[in-house]
Amino acid sequence: MIMKNRRIAKVIALVLALIMVFSVVWVAIDALTANAYVTQEEINKLREEKREYERKKQEIQSQINTIEFERMTEVAKKSVLDDRIMLTGMEIDNINATIDLYTVLIREKELELQAAIKSEDAQLVTYKRRVRDMEENGVITYLEIVFDATSFSDLLARLDFVGYIMKADENAYNDLIIARDATEAAKADLEQTKVEMELEKVLHEEKLEELADQLDQASGLIKQIEASLETYTALYAAEAAEAERVQSEINKKVEELRQQEAAIAAAEAAKVRGTGQLMWPVPSAHVVTSPFGVRLHPVYRVYMQHWGIDIPAAYGANIIASDSGTVIISEYNSSYGNYIVINHGNGMTTLYAHMSSRLVGAGSVVSKGQVIGYIGSTGVSTGAHLHFEVSVNGAKVDPERYL
């Protein structure tokens, strides 16, 4: 009788252990899921943004396909093509962000799979232990438990206990099956996520090819202009006039800032003055293809003034602020394309042109070396590069003297 009671007690202890192990494992899995760093909603949001970019590009393409587009001047056409190029660049940034999220999501799902496998292994070990314990101690039949009852009330209690054991054994088996199903589901989910990320990578390559084609088309338009001396001369005159207008605007903004700083002492703390020693504005490229000053056109042999330096670099490469200061202009125009002007104090400003996109707006305070935009070919440009200008006390100077 004592041996049987010990066996019964052992069975009870084992059943309780089963329940505790299962509870701990499933709580761990629930905690992992609740603390997920990346959610599918974030990816869906990026996909919605991607659809919006595509819609805007379709609108631009419809404009390109119209007769009105053909009647536009070449410079106006270039502006439309620049808009399309910028949207394609945004699509590429969107895809890169989606791929980054998928990378994190895959890691999370790998952790979920590991947790599911551990849960299955733990439940299998516990289930085997239950079976092995019954084999080692002899099978306690439910009839033995019932027939050893000493009274009717004891019989009822033992019947309840038999039902408890049967239910525990059934639950142990069912939980093991559930754990195996969870493992298989986690594996399938992980593989599906990997497939989706590969599709994004394929789309990324397609968009890069599309961007290259669009850049070639935009560059070809400028080359068509350059093929005609009359048209090119007119374009140069317009570009020179635009440069003068921009310089006048720069001087005006600088004077406005001086007046503000003089009138409002508290605003002085918000204005960042530069050191006067400029950093190279394109960290990835250190070649100047067109220096400051008068240059001879290679075809028409006409001397023309170049107010800055041209630094060729890969499309999308970082452009940094050459010195600390306050952004006084951040906009697009047909000559400079996307461009930014920074006031560094002490009469010095820097201008960054032909950007694919701008990261800071007018009024922003930037630090020396901060990324302010990316290399592009917007405006009057035949290839990806940065047109960089420096002005001191309202006059354009050779940037290389300060770099």
pLDDT along the chain (403 residues), means of 10: 50 48 45 56 84 85 80 80 89 90 85 80 70 55 58 59 58 69 81 89 90 86 66 64 75 73 49 77 93 68 78 94 93 90 91 94 92 92 91 91 90
Instruction: Say how many Å lie between the first and final Cα of the chain, rounded.
Output: 97
Phi, psi dihedrals of residue 347, rounded to the nearest 5°: 80, 5
* pLDDT in the model for residue 37: 65
Partners of 337 in beta bridges: 333
* pLDDT in the model for residue 40: 75
Q: What is the pTM of this model?
A: 0.60
* pLDDT in the model for residue 361: 92
DSSP 8-class letter at 272? P
Q: Tokens at residue 269, please?
A: 């703390």
Q: Determine the Cα angle at 264 with ends 252 and 339, to 5°.
A: 35
DSSP string, 294-360: EEE-TTT--EEEE-SEEEE--TT-EEE-SS-EEEEEEEEETTTEEEEEEEEETTEEEEEEEEEEE--
Select from 3.40.190.10, 2.60.40.10, 2.70.70.10, 1.20.120.1230 the CATH code of 229-401: 2.70.70.10
Domain assignments of the chain as residue spans, ordered by start: 2-224, 229-401
Round to whole Å and give the CA distance between 24 and 16: 13
370 Cβ contact list (under 8 Å, min separation 6): 320, 321
In CATH terms, is domain 2-224 a member of 1.20.1050?
yes
